[in-house]
Amino acid sequence: MSSKWYGLGLAVLALLMTAGLAGAQTGFDYEAPYISTPPTIDGVIDDGEYLGEPIVLNPSTLNDLGGSINTGDSSNEAEYWLVWDENALYMAARVSDPNVVYNANQGDPLNGTDGVQLATDHQLLQEGGMETAGIHIHDVVPGQADDNDTAAYWQHLNGNPPDTFPNAEWAGRTTSTGYEVELMLPWSDFEPNSPTPEVGMQMGFMVLMMDFDAPDEQVDLWWTGDGGIGNPADWNVLTLGDAVDTTLSVSIGGPTLAAVGANATLTAQVSNAEGEVSYQWYKDGVELEEEVFDTLLISEVLEDDAGTYSVTVVDEEDNQAEASFVLTVGEALPAAGLTSILLLAMIAAAIGMVMLRRQTA
């Protein structure tokens, strides 16, 4: 494979590479959640397809991620998701780029096109460069052809045979704010020694973004990993994790004890909701009319306000969850009582100091 993209990448990587060094990965750890339903590889990152928190790559986060910008000071940002199932490893990337450049230098679709890269070391070799068997480098760029705005181009770079990853799937598209790409890599295509995926399995990985802003202009290379892409020992560690709980849930926060005459606020805290959420509050099983927001304010609490409060929430997909909360009401302590308690505490402290002095005298 002899595209200018590849040649430019090798030239930059040669400056970053410390070939043949072995050792534990020194980048950050990322846990890829298990998914029960594989994403549709169509270049559109739909809600719920990729679970877990994304890797956010921008100038502010690079230091925390052990990464660098090779050139320039771009305002671009990339979000990467990695998920898995028994069949494949999946990557999605959403890039914010005000100037998506497609084929700026003409010719090869990967020549001068903005895109992202995923590097994997499924054997944790921790040594060698991108020509080492088992070190896999995947480039994915969004298509912008006149007749197919959702096309994408992908190439696999390393020292493995050209037909490595024959069953990979990829897609991409440009958006109003940049572009999105998706990539599916079957476990059976990882060579040599194809892994059997299971929770807890680890592999080396790194993500990178390329940004061309003009024909023949030096690209910006943003990566995660202390030593750049050239040394797998400096890559990050990807761990295959459990499934993420996506069940709608709600809990209630607030004071468990309220004083008579004071105000008490109960708040419903919702997780994993799909779209907008509706609320309905109850007291001792009786619906509280017009209490249909995430907070319930009990003004000037009375003794009769003690009881079990509950809330039912429903999201736009008609998922439902409930939670309950017991509120106890007590008499407020008068100001004189507070003063007395404070005075007694001061007297007790003073007596304690006198006793301590006598013991040490």
DSSP 50-110: S-SPPEEESTTTTTTTTEEESS-----EEEEEEEE-SSEEEEEEEEE-SS---STT-SSTT
| pLDDT for 200 | 94
Give mean pLDDT, residues 228-253: 84
CA 327 to chain centre: 37
How much of the chain, in percent, has pLDDT values that exceed 90?
A: 37
For residue 95, the model assigns a pLDDT of 93
The CA distance from 134 to 151, in Å, is 28
Q: Which residues pair with 243 in a beta bridge?
A: 34
- State the chain's mean pLDDT as an integer: 78
Residue 350 has pLDDT above 80, yes or no: no
Label residue 59 by pLDDT band (50, 70, 90). Answer: confident
Give the pLDDT mean for 218-223: 70
Segment 164-185, tens digit of pLDDT: 788 989 888 888 899 999 999 9
Tell whether the model's pLDDT for residue 351 goes beyond 90. no
What confidence score (pLDDT) does residue 199 get? 95
State pTM to two decimals.
0.66
| Tens digit of each residue's pLDDT (9 = 90 or more) over 306-346 | 999 999 999 998 999 999 999 999 876 454 454 555 566 56
Whole-number pLDDT of residue 359: 52
Distance, in Å, from the CA atom of 174 to the CA atom of 28, rounded to the nearest integer, reads: 29
Domains recognised in the chain with CATH numbers: 4-243 (2.60.40.1190), 249-330 (2.60.40.10)
At 13, the pLDDT band (50, 70, 90 cuts) reads very low
Q: How confident is the model at residue 48 (pLDDT cuts 50, 70, 90)?
A: confident
User: Is residue 111's pLDDT more than 80?
Assistant: no
